[in-house]
Each structure stands twice: as C-alpha cells, then as structure tokens.
Structure 1
Amino acid sequence: MDIRLLESSDAKSYWVLRLEALKNNPEAFSSSYEEAIKREFPVETVLKNLSTEGTFTFGAFNDQELIGVVTLVQEFTSKLHHRANIFAMYVSPKFRRLSVGKALLLTAINHAKSIEAIEKINLEVITTNDRAKNLYIKMGFITYGLEERALKINNDYYDSEYMVLFLKK
C-alpha cells in the first residue's frame, strides 16, 4: 500500500471512489449519491478541489488502484487559521480492517503537524459508525459535542459526534 497526496491525474479515480462511498455509506456524508451523479463536470470540480490552497487530499493505493481517501482542510480566515478539518474519509470495503484508514489518518495528522499554524484538527462522525469513532479515539481525538438528528435520510435520523485532536496545548 502506498499513500500520497493526490494529484490532478487522480481526479477521475477520486470521483469514482467518492461515488462508491456515497453509495455504500450514505449516512457518513452530507452529500447524497443521487445528488452527486447529477452534477455537471464533477471531475473538473475534483480537479479544482485538489489544487485549492490549504486543502490536502491523501489517497491510499493498492498497486495503482485508489482504495481510500482523506481530506485535510486548513481554515483560511485569520481567526480560524489555527484550525484544520478532516473531511471525506473513506476506505473501500474490501480493504477495511487492514489499517488503511489508520495510515490515511496518520498521514493527514502528520501533514497538519508540519504546518506551524495548525494547532488542532476537528472532524465529525456519525455516532453509529463505531469503527471510525474507535479509530479516531485511538489516534487521540476526543469528543466535544453532539448534534442530534444531524442527517436525515428518508425517514431515518443520524446523530453526529464532533471530535478534536489538539496538536499544540
């Protein structure tokens, strides 16, 4: 397995994996698969996101296949510049339980540590996603809040847990 920062040449692979994520785990993302497939020029949007300053998307590869992703986004306003957020974490089901998620998250954390301004990393996780929550806890994240009924999919509600990792005390 190889982990690296995604490049423009990875945009199409990212989009394919993103659609897989939205289809397999709709409760884990605020976007829906149905909305995503209706987007015009989605790969171009991915290309733009991959080149946005302060946004770092890391991919895990098995041979040449993109099997997992995580995005680290640094806040850009002067009052929030000390914060970064983890978004869009996903590992393809057949590669789960092989420490791919841990390796991706560790890469994102280490990258955040390399940026002097970043003091903490925030993330949001659905409370029923025990595997992800346990990984975040093992990596040092702590819960600081709960939003009840954060997502509604059909007639089912999902609560979100807000977590933080302090890089500097």
Structure 2
Amino acid sequence: MSLSIRQIGPDEAEIYRTIRLIALEGDPASFASDAQTERDRPLDWYAQGTRDAAIFVAFVDGQPVGMAGLFVPDRPKTSHIGTIFGLYVRPEQRRNGTAAALMDAVISLARTRVRQVHLGVAVDNCAALKLYHRLGFQTYGTEPRALHVDGRFIDEHLMVRFLDKEDR
C-alpha cells in the first residue's frame, strides 16, 4: 500500500467528483449535501470547487481513497479563518492514519493562509471527534439540528484550532 496525498486542480474534477460521491453515498449523515444533488451537477461544478477551495485527495496505489477541503473566504474581516470540510476516508482505509495525513496536509496549507481553522462534526461521530481532539481542535459550541437526514436531526459540534503564535 502506497499512500500519497496531494491537492488537486480543475483538470482533475473527475477525481473530486468520484471521491465526493463515494463519500456522500457511503456516509450521508456526515455531509450537508446529498449524493443525488451532486450526481446531477456538471463536471464544471467540481472543477470550480477546486478553484474556490483547496481540495486534497488521498490516493492508495493511484486510486482515490479519501478527501478533505479548505475554504478561505475573501472577505477582509473573516479572511483569518479557514473552514475545513468534507473529510472522508473509505472504510477499508480507516484507522491507518489516512484521515490524520489528510488533516495534516490541510492544516499545513492553512498555516500559510489563515490564523485559525474551523470545522463541524456530528456529535455522535466518535472517531472523527477523537482525531480532531488529538490534532488540537477544541469544541466551542454545538449547533442543534445542524442536519436533517433520513427523518432525523443531527447536532454538530463546532470546533476550532488556532494556528498562530497566540494559540489558546
């Protein structure tokens, strides 16, 4: 098994679409979007997504097995805050460091662009919460009913990690 992680660009929109749909189909309660909506989107939408945010993909032996993204707003008053989104690793690649490696790649880029990163995670996603705490994230709130999936509401913990010298 040879794991590699890299940021993808607009010319690799099909890779983004493929791993994103796998994520949405395999773990629908973890994402605000749904597979059908994104399946119907044109490939150009995914290409634009790689322009609007930094999309990292984990590959094993050349096949995409995971992803994570970083969005940095262009508004001056909030440009110090990046949002990490879309972390997903295929089930057969979990618990071997792939998610941590994806997060490390995203955080490394974030350090060059922002002073803190935020993310949201379902309150019952114990594996993700454990990873985020290990990586230095702190919970700063909980959004009740953040998602409504298959007739049930899902609360999300809102988390932050400070990246500047004024770590709290």
Q: TM-score range by the shorter chain?
A: over 0.9
Check if 1:44 corresponds to 2:40.
no
The 3-state SS of whatever aligns with 1:137 is helix
Check if 1:161 corresponds to 2:157.
yes
Distance 2:23 2:49 in 1: 18
> How far off is 1:10 after superposition?
2.3
> How far off is 1:93 after superposition?
1.0
Distance 1:78 1:62 in 2: 38
> How far off is 1:44 after superposition?
1.1
Check if 1:121 corresponds to 2:121.
no
Aligned to 2:61: 63
Distance 1:145 1:33 in 2: 28
Distance 1:58 1:154 in 2: 29
Please give the root-mean-square deviation of Cα atoms over the aligned residues, in Å: 1.1
Distance 2:154 2:160 in 1: 20
**126, 147, 157: which is aligned to 1:151?**
147
Pairing of 1:101-140 with structure 2 (within 5 A): 101-115=99-113, 118-140=114-136
Aligned to 2:97: 99
The 3-state SS of whatever aligns with 1:30 is coil
Distance 2:131 2:137 in 1: 9
- CA deviations 1:88-143 (Å, max 9, x no partner) are 1111111111100000001111111123xx11000000111111111000000000
Distance 1:141 1:45 in 2: 31
How many pairs are equivalent? 163
Pairing of 1:70-89 with structure 2 (within 5 A): 70-89=68-87
Query: Percent of aligned positions with the same letter in both sequences?
Result: 31
Aligned to 2:24: 22
TM-score normalised to structure 1 length: 0.92
Distance 1:44 1:62 in 2: 25
The 3-state SS of whatever aligns with 1:134 is helix
For structure 1, the 5+ residue unaligned runs are none
Distance 1:121 1:22 in 2: 23
For structure 2, the 5+ residue unaligned runs are none
**Stretches of 4+ aligned residues off by more than 6 angstroms:** none
